[in-house]
Structure 1
Amino acid sequence: MCGRLSQYSGIHDFVAALSMPNALANSVGELPLERYNVAPSTQVALLHLQGDLLHADLVRWGWRPHWAKDRAAPINARVEKVAHGPFFRAIWPHRAITPVDNWFEWVDEGGPKKQPYLIRRRDGSPVLCAAIGQLPDSDEGPGEHDGFVIITADSAGGMVDIHDRRPVVLTPDLAREWLDPATPKERAEQMLLAQGDDTDIFEWFKVSMNVGNVKNKGEDLIEKVL
């Protein structure tokens, strides 16, 4: 996953896709997000549970432990290592969902620049990406070290031609189980390794080269080009 996504739906559209009956504490806002070119290190809408309350917060995309100051904050975590490696140990228990409308990858097709592709669900519904992070606390408020990473797995099928890694995408049922603090860590790991959505639920197509510049923000960035 190259590290660019879109969140243009409203937070209530994302919550509706999750189908959770919990009351919502929404600090993101009521209007459509209208963000078509979201880059790492910026604030991204995230869903997480605190007690019985579902929270929608803006959290920085990227995180590193306090002792890893000699490297940039990763934005992704490999599913093969995330549950057992020391780097993400502190945040592995703190699970979240990053709901997106699509994400982007860049492919070397022999031209002077890599060609960007947009990837989304074929049915147009939100993509529920498994994430972990240092998340805002409703009592203490946002913290300066808050951040999150999206968990990625090997691609399969035709998507390998676009990129060898992709987000672990969960069905609404699995996403609710993933968010539930009562879900054992062993079960959470098994869900990531074996039960993410198959590649065939996605479609992908070429989009404008303009998506490569994070200063470009318009809706035209998600339109198909020939």
Structure 2
Amino acid sequence: MCGRFDQNDIARRYVAAFGWADAAYRGQAEPSHNASPGTARLILHRHGGVPLAEDVYWGYRPSWAVGKLPVAYQARLEKIHGNYWRRLLQTGRAVVPAHGWYEYSQVRHQIAI
């Protein structure tokens, strides 16, 4: 399966929707109707109390998992409180503005003869 989402507006409009007129913006991610894992995407968060909009790599892997596990881009609800995601949930909260999301899966067709 491959998760994709629609982030098809410019950063300035997302920031305005939150009322963050004073937010700093770092990055240059282009709007996309089909944003894929492994690309830089816009997030909104606070850093030291200051509103910030910046592009970050879409994917996560804790340092202890390098070379052992692949980069993750989705978290299953029943596993979100495990060791893999614990540190990220404590320090990495952010808003990812999106107009929609997609989940593609392989479909197999069988023909009866």
TM tier, shorter chain? 0.7 to 0.9
Distance of 2:50 and 2:109 partners within structure 1? 49
* 1:65 and 2:44 are equivalent in the alignment: no
Q: Which runs of 5+ in 1 are unaligned?
A: 113-226
CA-CA distance at 1:11 after TM superposition: 0.9
Give the equivalent residue in structure 2 for 1:144.
none
Partner letter of residue 58 of structure 1? D
Q: Which of residues 71, 85, 90 is equivalent to 1:88? A: 85
User: Which string of whole-angstrom CA distances, capped at 9 and with x for unpartnered residues, describes residues 18-77 of structure 1?
Assistant: 3346x2110135xx9332221111111111101221111111111111111211111012
Q: Which runs of 5+ in 2 are unaligned?
A: none
Give the equivalent residue in structure 2 for 1:76.
74
CA-CA distance at 1:109 after TM superposition: 6.8
Give the equivalent residue in structure 2 for 1:12.
12
Does the C-alpha gap of structure 1 residues 33 and 90 become closer, same or farther in structure 2, counting only changes over 3 Å?
Answer: same
Secondary structure of residue in 2 paired with 1:89: helix
CA-CA distance at 1:17 after TM superposition: 2.6
* 1:55 and 2:49 are equivalent in the alignment: no
Partner letter of residue 16 of structure 1? A
Q: Which of residues 102, 105, 111 is equivalent to 1:104? A: 102
Secondary structure of residue in 2 paired with 1:98: coil
Residue correspondence of structure 1 range 1-226 to structure 2 within 5 A: 2-20=2-20, 23-29=22-28, 33-69=30-66, 70-82=68-80, 84-93=81-90, 94-106=92-104
Partner letter of residue 98 of structure 1? V
Distance of 1:79 and 1:18 partners within structure 2? 27
Does the C-alpha gap of structure 1 residues 77 and 15 become closer, same or farther in structure 2, counting only changes over 3 Å?
Answer: same
CA-CA distance at 1:9 after TM superposition: 0.3
- Count of equivalent residues: 108
Distance of 1:88 and 1:46 partners within structure 2? 18
Does the C-alpha gap of structure 1 residues 107 and 41 become closer, same or farther in structure 2, counting only changes over 3 Å?
Answer: closer
Moved over 3 A (4+): 107-112
CA RMSD of aligned residues (A): 2.5
Does the C-alpha gap of structure 1 residues 107 and 86 become closer, same or farther in structure 2, counting only changes over 3 Å?
Answer: closer
Q: TM-score, normalised by structure 1?
A: 0.42
User: Which string of whole-angstrom CA distances, capped at 9 and with x for unpartnered residues, describes residues 104-155 of structure 1?
Assistant: 123677659xxxxxxxxxxxxxxxxxxxxxxxxxxxxxxxxxxxxxxxxxxx
